[in-house]
Structure 1
Amino acid sequence: MWQDKQPIALVIVDDHPVVLHGLETLLQQDERIAVRGGFTTGMEALAFVQQHTVHVVLLDISLPDIHGAELCRRIKQVSPATVVLGFSNHAERLLILQLLQNGASGYLLKNVAAAELMTCMEEALNGQVAFSSEVKQIMARAAVPDVKAVAPLTKREKQILRLIADGRTNQQMADELSLSVLTVETHRRNLMQKFEVKNVAALLKAAMAEGLLS
């Protein structure tokens, strides 16, 4: 069991103050929980985790400054021992898999009961992958491809994709890679075709779903 019932140092990250306050009030009543902080932005939470011992982070997916999956990856980089649990209203299988790929130890929907939330936290702290009951049903469904298979990318296309994600212009990419702007535009067009998308936002979303930007 979890370290002889040592109180769980918990941080909650949710961009809705009312939800945050409600969770803090609820969980502070449990002697097994020590709520260390509640944050409405990802960067505030990340800074706190860097400076304090945090056993569990309850992490919403939708945050104003960073996607929850990316924040999960960064938290695990600075504090590998911290358990991250997705805690969201989003029930898409792809989002759940994305968060797990970035180091999360489980995923719960926000309608979870307090007792089940506590059970999931203890399971995750004991090394298990923890899902709330509804998420278990989602993950147990017959696997239907969430995204179409994408043709393999060349090394150069992967470089261009990464630079697009970093917000570089065609000219900046050309200068950095010692290519002509025309060549960069060609690679960019090829990426759009391979992912079957029509704009950069859709390209980056599809690339992240494939784990190419983690």
Structure 2
Amino acid sequence: MNLETDRRIRVALLDDHPVVLFGLSAQLGQLSDISVVGSFESSRALLVVLTSQEVDVLVMDYSLGPKEIDGVNLLRMLRLRFPKLEILVVSGYCNPATAALTIRSGARGFIGKISLMHELLDAIRTVAARQRYVDKVIAYELDLALKKVAADDDRGETATLAEQVSLSPREWEVLRCVLDGMAVTSIATKFSRSVTTISTQKQAAYRKLGIRTDAELFKVQHSLGRMYQ
């Protein structure tokens, strides 16, 4: 992607919240060096445009709606089909584990949704120049995590998603039960805990894994590796 100094950065937006898309389009549309070529609520609509129109940077939400492909597989598919496309992931799950997972899956940059607008603009421009951008809040921790993953790869080991996050024993046992098809009420009965406690532990585990729904958990089940055996 050879960006010329006299051409604006062509940006596409992907988020399942129309208000977010409207706000981003309005903000980016005021800039002289950025052109919003499209905003999309679904990956399907995005793919139609990507096959016919050149885009420099895709700014995408990591977790889309329940009917959408999960973030990891979407990133991998986009990287395979559109190798020249640079991808900036924007996520409400701003933690090293989620960032590392998105970077390894094909994203050029990662930024949290609580970031300021000038940080998002820096991220877009950095990614458009084919340089990595990582949210400043987690940049140091992510660097350590990626170095560990690289070291594991050099030794012929593969780091799993579960090994990149800090799940407590109780959070992990709740995930195991969900993957076995158990409802929160059944898990609460099994472990003699309240439904509220189980629900809290489940949601805490989901946040750490960068997912929001049971459907997304099943989609990333293979990434949990040997811990789910």
TM-score (norm 1): 0.67
Task: Trace 1:162-201 onto structure 2 (pairs within 5 A).
Answer: 198-199=179-180
Task: State the SS of the aligned residue for 1:121.
Answer: helix
1:130 matched to which residue of 2? 133
1:85 matched to which residue of 2? 88
Cα deviation digits, residues 5-43 of structure 1 (max 9, x gap): 520110010111111100000110011110011111111
- Structure 1 portions without partners, runs of 5+: 150-194
Task: Trace 1:1-214 onto structure 2 (pairs within 5 A).
Answer: 2-64=3-65, 65-140=68-143, 147-148=162-163, 198-199=179-180, 204-209=219-224
Contact 2:10 2:57 in 1 (8 A): yes
Deviation of 1:199 (Å):
2.4
Cα deviation digits, residues 87-108 of structure 1 (max 9, x gap): 1111232222221122110101
Contact 1:10 1:34 in 2 (8 A): yes
Whole-angstrom distance in 2 between the partners of 1:204 and 1:16 = 22
Aligned residues, how many? 165
Cα 1:44–1:204 change in 2 (3 A) is closer
Deviation of 1:109 (Å):
0.9
Deviation of 1:141 (Å):
6.1
Cα deviation digits, residues 99-120 of structure 1 (max 9, x gap): 1122110101122222222222
Task: State the SS of the aligned residue for 1:51.
Answer: coil
Cα 1:25–1:140 change in 2 (3 A) is same
1:171 matched to which residue of 2? none
Which protein is bigger by CA-based radius of gyration?
A: 1
Deviation of 1:66 (Å):
1.6
- Structure 2 portions without partners, runs of 5+: 150-158, 165-174, 182-214
Q: Which runs of 4+ in 1 moved over 3 A?
A: 140-146, 195-198, 200-204
Whole-angstrom distance in 1 between the partners of 2:21 and 2:39 = 6
Whole-angstrom distance in 2 between the partners of 1:74 and 1:47 = 14
Deviation of 1:126 (Å):
2.1
Higher mean C-alpha deviation, range 101-110 or range 201-210: 201-210
Deviation of 1:67 (Å):
1.4
Deviation of 1:4 (Å):
1.3
Q: Which residue identity does 1:66 align to in structure 2?
A: I
Deviation of 1:208 (Å):
2.5
Aligned-pair Cα RMSD in Å: 2.9
Q: Which residue identity does 2:53 align to in structure 1?
A: H
Cα 1:110–1:196 change in 2 (3 A) is closer
Contact 2:59 2:87 in 1 (8 A): yes
Deviation of 1:138 (Å):
4.3
Whole-angstrom distance in 1 between the partners of 2:69 and 2:219 = 14
Deviation of 1:55 (Å):
0.3
Cα deviation digits, residues 49-71 of structure 1 (max 9, x gap): 12110000001011121212222
TM-score (norm 2): 0.63
Task: State the SS of the aligned residue for 2:115.
Answer: coil
Whole-angstrom distance in 1 between the partners of 2:36 and 2:22 = 11
